[in-house]
Structure formats: C-alpha cells, structure tokens
Amino acid sequence: MSEGYGLLKGKKGIIFGALDERSIAWRIALACKREGAEFVLSNAPIALRMGALDALGEETGAPIFPCDVTSDDQIKELVEKTKEHFGGGVDFILHAIGMSPNIRKKKEYTDINYKWYQQSLDISAVSLHRILHHADEGGLLNDGGSVVALSYIGAQRIFSKYSDMNDAKALLESIARNYGSRLAKRGIRVNTVSQAPTKTSAGSGIKGFDGMYTFAEKLAPLGNPSADECADYCLTLFSDLTRKVTMQNLFHDGGFVTNGISEEMMNDLANLYSEGEE
Ligand SMILES: NC(=O)c1ccc[n+]([C@@H]2O[C@H](COP(=O)([O-])OP(=O)(O)OC[C@H]3O[C@@H](n4cnc5c(N)ncnc54)[C@H](O)[C@@H]3O)[C@@H](O)[C@H]2O)c1
C-alpha cells in the first residue's frame, strides 16, 4: 500500500457497501487505511455470506458487522457494536449502498413493480435517513464528523436504463441536504459524491451500462474517474480540510456534467453523418 498524507489520522468511521475488490467502498476502505483511519466494515448478511469481505477485514484490521440497512433493529445493533468496538463515537460514515430489484429483474420503468420500487428507494435512499437517525439517537456521531453517500447524475438527468434508480438518487441527495441542515449545528457535514459510471458489481448489473460508461468517457474532458480516484476524493471530505462543505452534491465525473459535447463526439457524429450521406 502506498504511503498517504496521514489525512485521517486518529479518525474512526463506518464503511457500508464493500462487496468485492471492485466496489467503490472497498477502494475507499483501502484509502482510509492508507490515511491512518480506523473503521468497521458493514454489509447486508446475504452479501457477507459470499465471504469476499473477510479478505478486506484482514487487510485493514477492521471488524465486519452485518447489517441490512432496511432494518431499524439491525442498524441499532450495528450502532451499539460500533460504539463498543471503539469505546465511543465515529468521525465519518460512508454510505455506498444501492440496489434496484426492478433493474435486476428487467422491469421497465413504465411497467414498474411497486413493491420493488419501494425496496429500491428503501435500500438506496431511505437507508441514509435510517442510518443517520439511529447513529444520532444512539450518540454515535462525533461533533465535527463527516458523512458521504455515493450518488449518480441520474438524480438530475434521466438515463433511461437507470430506471427507478434515477428516483432513488434524487431522494438520496435530498435526504443528505435535509439531514445536513440539521446536523450542521454540531459541525457535522453531510454530502453526496456523484461518481461517474464505474465498473463494479452494481454498475455492471445495469443493462446498457457499457453504453453509459463509453458515453461518459467520451464526453468528460478528464475521462471517467476510477473507483480509486473516487476514494481519494471522498477522503478529502472525511478529512478536516473540508470542514465547511455540507449539503452539497459534488460531481466527481471528470467534467462530464458541465461539458456540452466533446471534440471526439463531434468528430464521431460528423463521420456518422457523412457516411449516411454517401
Ligand atoms: N458503479 C457505478 O457506476 C456507480 C456510479 C455512481 C454511483 N454509484 C453508487 O456507488 C455505491 C456503491 O456501488 P458500487 O458501484 O461500488 O457497487 P457494489 O455492488 O460493489 O456496492 C453496492 C453495495 O450495496 C450493498 N447493499 C445492497 N442492499 C443492501 C442492504 N439491504 N443492506 C446493506 N447493504 C446493501 C451491496 O451488498 C453492495 O455491497 C452505490 O450507491 C451506487 O449506486 C455507483
């Protein structure tokens, strides 16, 4: 592991959502370790049964606590176990959780299954509210702490294949703002990082993901950021260098959101058009 800057020395946290080596949360855990943080890892019991997370626990010295984030009881238990483990509260929380049964089971947005729709929202967005509520009530959040949830530009612009996750991310970002305004009195920041398409288990599970990835790669002047680059950005938000940044949705997308069209795309389109004319 390369040497860091000691940005998170003395900080303690919870990292939700590391599933396998490609997971953004996995990369963030490694980067947090590099920067001197201590943390606990959490994922749904069903994800833990796959067993991959054990390797990350061993590599980083972090305990693994199961928690399905749709369950209030399991979140409360996680809060208690984490307090016991650290003998106190945490300074940062990473929410890197997302799942849509409708996308998984290939249900079109206009023919949505409403039970699954509620599950998408519950797992991917309301869970941030639940975690903050129980962490706050259980005295787990230290003053001056920082909470980051991972989002996607589908919250602002519709990507058809992202289906009900567009709605889930819009809700997630709103919850971050709403809670951020309330926790600010204790110096606690709540932000979302809107990451570009990244080749992970959740990402690749979306039909049409390759098209979304290539489109973003071609439009973003800096190209798509990797999961490791996302990790580096999230660290700055957990660190004391960003103490007055809150209630923001921060784009980590190589400039995608602001660019209208790239030279490369313009050339591609011109070529396509001229081929059509021949
Ligand atoms: N991969 C991308 O292209 C991309 C882009 C922008 C944002 N994001 C977001 O990044 C976050 C992490 O996703 P990822 O791409 O690293 O994929 P991932 O599949 O590695 O992570 C998703 C995680 O959510 C967990 N999860 C699902 N249901 C849960 C539940 N009920 N309780 C607890 N955990 C549960 C999964 O077990 C998994 O670890 C998600 O919020 C995702 O929407 C991903």
Q: What is the pLDDT of residues 126-162, one digit of tens each?
A: 999 999 999 999 999 999 999 999 999 999 999 999 9
- For residue 69, the ligand 1 atom closest to its alpha carbon is 32
Phi, psi torsion values for 187, nearest 5 degrees: 75, 15
What is the Cα–Cα distance from 177 to 215, expressed in whole angstroms? Answer: 29
Q: With bands split at pLDDT 50, 70 and 90, how would you rate the model's confidence at 206?
A: confident
Cβ–ligand 1 contact at 69 (below 6 Å): yes
* pLDDT of 1 above 80: no
CATH of residue 116: 3.40.50.720
Question: 60 near 15, Cβ under 8 Å?
Answer: no
Q: Which ranges of the chain does DSSP label H, i.e. alpha helix?
A: 24-34, 45-48, 53-60, 72-86, 101-104, 114-121, 127-137, 163-183, 201-204, 209-219, 227-238, 263-277
Determine the structural domain holding residue 69 and report its residue range.
12-277
Give the active site residue among 162, 213, 233, 273: 162
Q: Which of 200, 206, 210, 224 to mutate to test the pocket of ligand 1 (most atoms within 8 A of CB)?
A: 200
The token duo for 135 is: 């962490």
Expressed in angstroms and rounded, the spacing between residue 41 Cα and the centre of ligand 1 is 14
pTM over 0.75: yes
Q: Is residue 265 part of a domain?
A: yes
Q: Helix 114-121 and helix 163-183: axis angle, to 10°?
A: 40
Q: What is the mean pLDDT of residues 48-56?
A: 92
* pLDDT of 21 above 60: yes
Cβ–ligand 1 contact at 142 (below 6 Å): no
Average pLDDT of every residue of the chain: 96
Residues 164-203 pLDDT 10s: 999 999 999 999 999 999 999 999 999 999 999 999 888 8
Q: What is the mean pLDDT of residues 52-66?
A: 97
Q: C-alpha angle with apex 243: 240 to 244, nearest 5 degrees?
A: 165
- For residue 24, the ligand 1 atom closest to its alpha carbon is 16
Overall domain count for the chain: 1
What is the Cα–Cα distance from 1 to 127, expressed in whole angstroms? Answer: 32
Q: Is residue 70 part of a domain?
A: yes
* pLDDT of 241 above 80: yes
Annotated active-site residue 114? The verdict is no
Q: Is residue 5 part of a domain?
A: no
Q: Is residue 7 part of a domain?
A: no
The token duo for 258 is: 């602001």
Annotated active-site residue 233? The verdict is no
Q: C-alpha angle with apex 138: 132 to 140, nearest 5 degrees?
A: 70
